[in-house]
């Protein structure tokens, strides 16, 4: 108890010391005075009395120290003292401190910001109940599943607790003044219960074991509720008209609720409507469902995969014509969500980690230079009896102070940077879980860990190297600071080599991404995107219930737009290239033997109307294009692209051949090939042209209409006029995505562009830091060798020979760094592979260019201190110490 | 001077407490003088070592201190015994007596073998 009380008082005593100090000296003074009084009374002269009193007390200062040690905790006292020294020392070198802290701040800030993105997207569990049990079920070919599978799996599977399916639809909302097309997910009624996310407001769909019974209900997304209904809670229970049908709003989901699958159509649903999973609904076995499952407790992914595969085989027994060469993939939902962005994020994280390393080595280098200039101070302190430990502690404190200040600045940068990064994410990037990105405790822990590592590096490395070298040289050290201590120089050189090597790796990565982006932008997508405006409208079944009505609407719309001044050609298509929507089907060529299941012919299918090919700038290679002569009453015609022609009519003329299509199980279509057009990169610039068949809209009308208009001038100027034509025909008909075709292409390139910009700025930072580091080392060497250089100049050395002398060292370091960097880049190339287009990760031209560039920058960085050395006045130089 | 013994470790605190019990409130110099006088100058107190000991006793709550005026009109810090200090002194005295008694018996000639 007493001990505890005393300890506590001592800790307190460590801090409130000023008042106690004056108290103590007053007490000691009183002691002296009393003693002297006594001695004088005993007959001693005052001087002698004072001397004896002091002797007996053992000196005021020493006694004061003893008491002070007892009063506080000596270790803390010393630490505080170190801390005070460190602050004072750093304040005395403001340039050094600002540069070091800013470098650290940027390094830690950038890496923490990127880490917060990586962590939020890749590592943090999804925001569902027990997310580790959620899985995504999909065929290995990447397309979707037939409801038949979902139905049977649900009934038979033991490894799954439940499964839900959904698909996206576009619905027209007409219950408010302005008709609006919205993206919705049609989900089985157990969808929300399976994920375990409760509604933010109201309720989710009620669910029973039987998924074939659905209520006319709808659930809103948080964002849609805010935007469209101003976030009023009274919305629950209100009716809403979708595609002409009246549904009741029963709930609003919490903010950020979404299920991302990251395939062609990711869910950005604003509404959820129930999907009726009819037991007998096996029509066509065509796949259109995304399926997620919740594993039973204890079930494994592999076990689930085997079980579902077996059930699927059984289902297929009843459908002999259906393809069997697919296998099922059961993926943890998190993997399925982020699979596509993982390589990019990891590369970016690696890049920023490299940047941080460079920043650290740069600051370590600065600290080393600073230590070198304090050589004399250290020598004196050592010889006055300071222990090496004491000096190391002093360095550690300084390093700690630098790193923590840098770290604090870094955390600030990270918070700002993360916000900036999220707000700067281009729409086309489609980064999953973007709304979940934020700085939290894990991120701060990361920043603190990095800071601690940096603190150790900045403290320990220079401390040990410096104390060791000081000890060694303490005796033989002349007063002139001309010695260049070998161990310290060695350490600095190593750091520079490391920096250059790391900078090369980053520059190489940025260079490769840049080149790849350039290649990608130069790719011919198969159409001419400039000067084309696109606009989409989806005709609802309720008002457009017959082919005739659809045809009438479409032809009137195209005619009206064609008549607008400034429009060159207008056409329509069901799904636009690069819009991430589309469909494919099987076909047979008439006159050839029916293909076996294994080599069935597949083709991308597109339905075009009007002058689509002219409007898009797709070239006609052979035959003719469909036109007004081809109607629903004449022979059905199709146009194929060169890719399909090359694949199935290698040396023949396809024109005039008939091909037959099966759409679903029983619908058959056939058409005569009348023309061959150029290939189109449907899936984006990085994809290959897809073998395509174009049907003719008047002969195969659909409700999905995307108008494509080629204009004389800037297409966006006609946006209003073109969109107005839809409402002239049908005021209740909404239009969506009125945008230039160029924007679609640009959005397709958003991810590579974003990666390029981020990597590019990291590389620029790395280059700058390495240049500064190199500059620092050479400048320092020049200062150290001033006398030597002065003598050389005095003895007649030429300008160029001094320049060479000084730069030699830097060139050597740069050279070694370059070689190591190139080797590392070649070794790391694999990681980059999946991000590159049109070039290999070992592209020699890029690596050569990057190396030359870095060498040039390095030369420039070395040139300034070298020139200063070469133009030294020998008289001044010789006098320096 | 050179024949004087140094104060044994740990006994200084006991002497301080005893001095304060006998003399009542006293300043540091007075305590030191008193210890020397009581020991008939056989003990040499380095006055400097007294102050950390005083501070320790104060931190442990056995004594308190306050500023006062001395007999010859100097301001000095006076230490006085607390109740805890008195108890501590009693206990320590007993312990000390026991210890010296044991040691005395132990060192008495002939006694050690009789057991």
> pLDDT per residue over A123-168, tens digit each?
888 888 899 999 988 877 656 777 777 887 888 888 999 999 888 8
Provide mean pLDDT across the span A102-110: 90
Q: What is the pTM of this model?
A: 0.74
Interface test with B, best of A7, A24, A67 (most B CBs within 10 A): A67
Q: What is the CA radius of gyration of chain A?
A: 38
Kindly list the residues from chain A whose CB atom is less than 8 angstroms away from the CB atom of residue B60.
Answer: 2-3, 5-6
Q: Are A410 and A109 in contact (CB under 8 A)?
A: yes
Give me the half-sphere count of Cα atoms (radius 13 Å) on the Cβ side of residue A317: 6
In sequence order, the 6+-apart residues with CB closer than 8 A to the CB of A796 are none
For residue A268, the SS3 value is coil
Does the pLDDT at position A322 exceed 60?
Answer: no
Which among A9, A56, A58 has the least Cβ separation from residue B59? Answer: A9
Kindly list the residues from chain B whose CB atom is less than 8 angstroms away from the CB atom of residue A66.
Answer: 48-49, 51-52
Q: Are A80 and A388 in contact (CB under 8 A)?
A: no
CB spacing of A31 vs B27 below 8 angstroms: yes
Provide mean pLDDT across the span B69-83: 85
User: How far A861 CA sits from the closest chain B CA (Å)?
Assistant: 60
CB spacing of A67 vs B52 below 8 angstroms: yes
With cut-offs at 50, 70 and 90, classify the pLDDT of residue A477: very low
Does the pLDDT at position A482 exceed 60?
Answer: no
Provide mean pLDDT across the span A744-768: 88
Encode pLDDT of A406-452 as tens digits. 999 999 999 898 888 888 787 767 777 877 888 888 888 888 888 88
| pLDDT-wise least confident of A44-53, A182-191, A390-399 | A390-399
Cα(A710)–Cα(A617) distance, rounded to whole angstroms?
9
With cut-offs at 50, 70 and 90, classify the pLDDT of residue A815: very high
Cα(A339)–Cα(A333) distance, rounded to whole angstroms?
10
ipTM for the predicted complex: 0.82
Can you say how many angstroms the Cα of residue A557 is from the centroid of all Cα atoms in its chain? 42
| Helix, strand, coil shares, percent, chain A, to 5 | 55, 15, 30
With cut-offs at 50, 70 and 90, classify the pLDDT of residue A38: confident
Q: Report the pLDDT value the prediction gives residue A97, as an integer from 0 to 100.
A: 86
User: How far B95 CA sits from the closest chain A CA (Å)?
Assistant: 18
CB spacing of A35 vs B47 below 8 angstroms: yes
Q: Are A712 and A566 in contact (CB under 8 A)?
A: yes
Interface test with A, best of B51, B53, B72 (most A CBs within 10 A): B51
Q: Please tell me if residue B110 touches chain A, with a CB cutoff of 8 Å.
A: no
With cut-offs at 50, 70 and 90, classify the pLDDT of residue A98: confident
With cut-offs at 50, 70 and 90, classify the pLDDT of residue B41: confident
| pLDDT-wise least confident of A211-220, A256-265, A837-846 | A256-265
Q: What is the pairing mode between strands A692-696 and A601-610?
A: parallel
User: How far A386 CA sits from the closest chain B CA (Å)?
Assistant: 24
Does the pLDDT at position B115 exceed 50?
Answer: no
Q: Are A862 and A811 in contact (CB under 8 A)?
A: yes
With cut-offs at 50, 70 and 90, classify the pLDDT of residue A695: very high
Does the pLDDT at position A282 exceed 60?
Answer: no
Provide mean pLDDT across the span A811-828: 91
Provide mean pLDDT across the span A543-572: 92
Interface test with A, best of B7, B32, B55, B79 (most A CBs within 10 A): B55
Kindly list the residues from chain A whose CB atom is less than 8 angstroms away from the CB atom of residue B59.
Answer: 5-6, 9-10, 70
CB spacing of A34 vs B74 below 8 angstroms: yes
Which among A27, A37, A62 has the least Cβ separation from residue B28? Answer: A27
H or E element in which residue A567 lies: strand A567-573
Provide mean pLDDT across the span A193-222: 86
Cα(A461)–Cα(A293) distance, rounded to whole angstroms?
53
Query: Tokens 């520059």 sit at which residue?
Result: A507
Provide mean pLDDT across the span B52-57: 86
Cα(B18)–Cα(A433) distance, rounded to whole angstroms?
76
Kindly list the residues from chain B whose CB atom is less than 8 angstroms away from the CB atom of residue A63.
Answer: 47-48, 51
Kindly list the residues from chain A whose CB atom is less than 8 angstroms away from the CB atom of residue B55.
Answer: 67, 70-71
Does the pLDDT at position A464 exceed 80?
Answer: no
Q: What's the angle, vertex CA A223, arms to CA A219 and CA A228, rounded to 5?
A: 80
How many A×B Cβ pairs under 8 Å? 72
- And the tokens for A511? 């260079």
Which of B:73-92 have CB within 8 Å of A? Answer: 74-77
Which among B52, B61, B74 has the least Cβ separation from residue A30? Answer: B74
The overall average pLDDT reported for chain A is 83
Which among B49, B55, B75 has the least Cβ separation from residue A71? Answer: B55
User: How far A23 CA sits from the closest chain B CA (Å)?
Assistant: 9
Q: Report the pLDDT value the prediction gives residue A264, as an integer from 0 to 100.
A: 41
Kindly list the residues from chain A whose CB atom is less than 8 angstroms away from the CB atom of residue B74.
Answer: 30, 33-34, 37
Q: Are A155 and A149 in contact (CB under 8 A)?
A: no
Provide mean pLDDT across the span A349-375: 84
User: What are A202's strand-pairing partners?
Assistant: A251
Entry field: residues in chain A: 881
H or E element in which residue A535 lies: strand A532-538
Cα(A744)–Cα(A639) distance, rounded to whole angstroms?
24
Kindly list the residues from chain A whose CB atom is less than 8 angstroms away from the CB atom of residue B56.
Answer: 6, 70
Q: According to the per-residue pLDDT averaged within each range, which of A429-438, A448-457, A660-669 is highest?
A: A448-457
Does the pLDDT at position B107 exceed 80?
Answer: yes
Provide mean pLDDT across the span A583-595: 77
Q: Report the pLDDT value the prediction gives residue A606, as an integer from 0 to 100.
A: 92
CB spacing of A31 vs B47 below 8 angstroms: yes
More confident call, A219 vs A171: A219
Q: Please tell me if residue B68 touches chain A, with a CB cutoff of 8 Å.
A: no
Which among A28, A33, A57 has the least Cβ separation from residue B74? Answer: A33
Q: Report the pLDDT value the prediction gives residue A572, as an integer from 0 to 100.
A: 95
Which among A5, A26, A58 has the least Cβ separation from residue B47? Answer: A58
With cut-offs at 50, 70 and 90, classify the pLDDT of residue A608: very high
Q: How far is CA B70 from CA A378, A826, B28, B67, in A?
A: 49, 86, 11, 10
- And the tokens for A388? 């090496």
Q: Report the pLDDT value the prediction gives residue A152, as an integer from 0 to 100.
A: 79
Q: Please tell me if residue B60 touches chain A, with a CB cutoff of 8 Å.
A: yes
Q: Report the pLDDT value the prediction gives residue A665, as an integer from 0 to 100.
A: 55
Q: Report the pLDDT value the prediction gives residue A475, as an integer from 0 to 100.
A: 47
User: How far A69 CA sits from the closest chain B CA (Å)?
Assistant: 8
- What is the greatest pairwise CA distance in chain B? 60
Which among A31, A35, A67 has the least Cβ separation from residue B55? Answer: A67
Beta strands in chain B (DSSP E): 26-27, 63-69, 75-81
Does the pLDDT at position A828 exceed 50?
Answer: yes
Which among A9, A26, A62 has the least Cβ separation from residue B48? Answer: A62
With cut-offs at 50, 70 and 90, classify the pLDDT of residue A30: confident
Q: According to the per-residue pLDDT averaged within each range, which of A121-135, A413-427, A776-790, A867-881 is highest?
A: A121-135
By the 10 Å C-beta count (0-12 exposed, 13-18 middle, 19+ buried), A763 is classed as buried
B84 to chain A: closest CA residue? A2
Q: How far is CA A869 from CA A783, A787, B56, in A?
A: 8, 10, 62
Q: What is the DSSP letter of B43?
A: B
Kindly list the residues from chain B whose CB atom is less than 8 angstroms away from the CB atom of residue A5.
Answer: 59-61
Q: Report the pLDDT value the prediction gives residue A555, as an integer from 0 to 100.
A: 93
With cut-offs at 50, 70 and 90, classify the pLDDT of residue A280: low
Does the pLDDT at position A588 exceed 80?
Answer: yes
The overall average pLDDT reported for chain B is 80
Q: Please tell me if residue B96 touches chain A, with a CB cutoff of 8 Å.
A: no
CB spacing of B61 vs A5 below 8 angstroms: yes
Q: Are A355 and A107 in contact (CB under 8 A)?
A: yes
With cut-offs at 50, 70 and 90, classify the pLDDT of residue A557: very high
| pLDDT-wise least confident of A115-119, A221-225, A324-328 | A324-328
Which among A2, A23, A67 has the least Cβ separation from residue B60? Answer: A2
Kindly list the residues from chain B whose CB atom is less than 8 angstroms away from the CB atom of residue A65.
Answer: none
Does the pLDDT at position B4 exceed 60?
Answer: no
With cut-offs at 50, 70 and 90, classify the pLDDT of residue B3: very low
For residue B88, the SS3 value is helix
With cut-offs at 50, 70 and 90, classify the pLDDT of residue A272: very high
Q: Report the pLDDT value the prediction gives residue A471, as an integer from 0 to 100.
A: 59
Interface test with A, best of B1, B17, B48, B77 (most A CBs within 10 A): B48
Does the pLDDT at position A286 exceed 80?
Answer: no
Q: Please report the DSSP string for A67-102 in residue order.
A: HHHHHS-HHHHHHHHHHHHHHHHHHH-HHHHHHHHH
Kindly list the residues from chain B whose CB atom is less than 8 angstroms away from the CB atom of residue A33.
Answer: 74
Which of B:16-55 have CB within 8 Å of A? Answer: 27-30, 33, 46-49, 51-52, 55
Q: What percent of chain A has pLDDT over 90?
A: 25
Does the pLDDT at position B114 exceed 60?
Answer: no
Q: Report the pLDDT value the prediction gives residue A821, as an integer from 0 to 100.
A: 93
Q: Report the pLDDT value the prediction gives residue B2, as an integer from 0 to 100.
A: 38
Does the pLDDT at position A485 exceed 60?
Answer: no
Does the pLDDT at position A248 exceed 60?
Answer: yes
Does the pLDDT at position A481 exceed 70?
Answer: no
- Smallest Cα–Cα separation from A604: which of A683, A507, A670? A683
In sequence order, the 6+-apart residues with CB closer than 8 A to the CB of A815 are none
User: How far A389 CA sits from the closest chain B CA (Å)?
Assistant: 27
Provide mean pLDDT across the span B103-108: 84
Does the pLDDT at position A61 exceed 80?
Answer: no
Q: According to the per-residue pLDDT averaged within each range, which of A272-286, A655-669, B16-30 is highest?
A: B16-30
- And the tokens for A819? 């070689």
Does the pLDDT at position A663 exceed 70?
Answer: no
For residue A10, the SS3 value is helix
CB spacing of A70 vs B56 below 8 angstroms: yes
């Amino acid at each position: 108890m007493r001990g505890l009380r005393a300890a506590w008082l001592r800790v307190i005593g460590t801090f409130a010391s000023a008042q106690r100090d004056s108290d103590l000296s007053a007490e000691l003074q009183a002691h002296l005075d009393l003693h002297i009084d006594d001695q004088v009374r005993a007959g001693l002269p005052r001087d002698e009395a004072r001397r004896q009193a002091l002797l007996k007390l053992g000196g005021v200062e020493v006694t004061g120290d003893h008491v002070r040690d007892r009063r506080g905790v000596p270790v803390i006292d010393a630490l505080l003292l170190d801390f005070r020294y460190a602050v004072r020392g750093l304040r005395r070198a403001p340039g050094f401190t600002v540069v070091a802290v800013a470098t650290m701040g940027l390094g830690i800030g950038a890496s923490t910001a990127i880490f917060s993105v990586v962590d939020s997207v890749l590592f943090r569990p999804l925001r569902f109940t027990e997310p580790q049990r959620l899985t995504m079920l999909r065929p290995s070919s990447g397309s979707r599943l037939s409801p038949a599978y979902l139905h049977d799996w649900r009934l038979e599977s033991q490894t799954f607790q439940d499964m839900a399916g959904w698909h996206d639809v576009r619905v027209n909302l007409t219950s408010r003044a302005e008709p609006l097309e919205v993206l919705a997910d049609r989900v089985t009624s157990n969808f929300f219960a399976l994920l375990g996310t409760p509604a933010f407001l109201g309720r989710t769909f009620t669910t029973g074991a039987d998924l074939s019974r659905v209520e006319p209900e709808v659930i809103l997304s948080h964002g849609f509720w805010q935007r469209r209904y101003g976030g009023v809670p009274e919305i629950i229970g209100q009716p809403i008209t979708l595609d002409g049908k009246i549904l009741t709003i029963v709930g609003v989901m919490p903010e950020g609720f979404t299920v991302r699958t990251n395939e062609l159509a990711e869910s950005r649903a604003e509404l959820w409507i129930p999907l009726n999973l009819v037991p007998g609904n096996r029509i066509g076995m065509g796949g259109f469902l995304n399926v997620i499952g919740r594993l039973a407790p204890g079930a494994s992914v592999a076990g689930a995969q085997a079980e579902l595969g077996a059930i699927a085989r059984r289902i297929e027994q009843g459908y002999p014509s259906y393809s069997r060469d697919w296998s099922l993939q059961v993926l943890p939902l998190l993997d399925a969500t982020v699979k596509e962005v993982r390589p990019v994020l990891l590369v970016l994280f690696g890049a920023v980690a490299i940047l941080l390393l460079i920043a650290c080595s740069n600051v370590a280098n600065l600290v080393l230079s600073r230590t070198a200039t304090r050589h004399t101070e250290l020598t004196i302190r050592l010889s006055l009896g300071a222990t090496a430990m004491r000096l190391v502690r002093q360095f550690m404190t300084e390093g700690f102070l630098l790193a923590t200040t840098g770290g604090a600045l870094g955390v600030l940068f990270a918070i700002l940077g993360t916000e900036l990064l999220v707000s700067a994410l281009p729409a086309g990037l489609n980064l999953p879980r973007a709304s979940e990105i934020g700085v939290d405790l894990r991120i701060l822990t990361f920043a603190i860990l990095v800071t601690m590592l940096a603190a150790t590096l900045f403290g320990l490395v220079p401390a040990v190297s410096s104390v060791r070298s000081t000890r060694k040289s303490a005796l033989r050290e002349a007063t002139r600071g001309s010695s260049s201590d070998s161990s310290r120089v060695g350490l600095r050189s190593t750091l520079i080599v490391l920096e250059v090597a790391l900078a090369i790796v980053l520059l190489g990565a940025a260079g490769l991404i840049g080149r790849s982006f350039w290649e990608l932008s130069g790719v011919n997508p198969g159409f001419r995107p400039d000067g084309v405006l696109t606009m989409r409208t989806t005709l609802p079944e309720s008002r457009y219930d017959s082919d005739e009505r659809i045809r009438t609407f479409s032809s009137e719309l195209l005619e009206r737009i064609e008549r607008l001044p400034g429009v060159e050609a207008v056409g329509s298509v069901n799904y636009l290239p690069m819009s991430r929507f589309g469909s494919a089907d099987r076909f047979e060529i008439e006159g050839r033997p029916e293909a076996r299941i294994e080599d069935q012919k597949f083709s991308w299918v597109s339905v075009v109307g009007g002058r689509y090919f002219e409007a898009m700038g797709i070239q006609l290679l052979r035959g003719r294009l469909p036109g007004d002569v081809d109607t629903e009453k004449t022979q059905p015609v199709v146009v194929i692209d060169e890719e399909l022609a090359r694949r199935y009519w290698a040396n023949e003329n396809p024109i005039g051949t008939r091909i037959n299509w099966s759409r679903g199980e029983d619908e058959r279509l056939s058409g005569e090939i009348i023309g061959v057009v150029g290939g189109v990169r449907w899936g984006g610039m990085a994809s290959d042209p897809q073998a395509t068949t174009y049907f003719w809209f008047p002969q195969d009308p659909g409700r999905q209409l995307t108008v494509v208009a080629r204009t004389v001038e800037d297409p966006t100027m006609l946006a209003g006029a073109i969109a107005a034509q839809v409402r002239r025909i049908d005021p209740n008909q909404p239009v969506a995505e009125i945008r230039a075709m160029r924007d679609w292409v640009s959005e397709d390139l958003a991810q590579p562009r974003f990666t390029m910009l981020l990597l590019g700025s990291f590389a620029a930072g790395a280059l700058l830091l390495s240049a500064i580091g190199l500059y620092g080392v050479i400048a320092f060497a020049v200062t150290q060798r001033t006398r030597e250089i002065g003598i050389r100049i005095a003895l007649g050395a030429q300008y160029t020979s001094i320049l060479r002398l000084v730069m030699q060292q830097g060139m050597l370091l740069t050279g070694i760094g370059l070689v190591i960097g190139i080797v590392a880049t070649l070794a790391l190339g694999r990681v980059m592979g999946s991000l590159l287009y049109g070039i290999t990760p070992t592209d020699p031209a890029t690596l050569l260019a990057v190396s030359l560039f870095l060498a040039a920058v390095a030369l420039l960085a070395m040139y300034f201190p070298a020139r200063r050395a070469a133009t030294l006045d020998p008289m001044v130089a010789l006098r320096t110490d | 001077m050179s024949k004087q013994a140094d104060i044994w470790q740990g006994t200084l605190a006991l002497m301080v407490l005893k001095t304060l019990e006998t003399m009542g409130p006293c300043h540091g110099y007075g305590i030191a003088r008193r210890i020397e006088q009581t020991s008939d100058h056989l003990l040499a107190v380095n006055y400097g070592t007294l102050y950390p000991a005083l501070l320790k006793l104060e931190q442990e709550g056995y004594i308190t201190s306050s500023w006062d005026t001395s007999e010859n009109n100097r301001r000095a810090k006076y230490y006085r015994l607390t109740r805890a200090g008195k108890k501590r002194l009693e206990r320590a005295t007993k312990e000390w007596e026991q210890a010296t008694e044991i040691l005395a018996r132990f060192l008495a000639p002939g006694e050690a073998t009789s057991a």
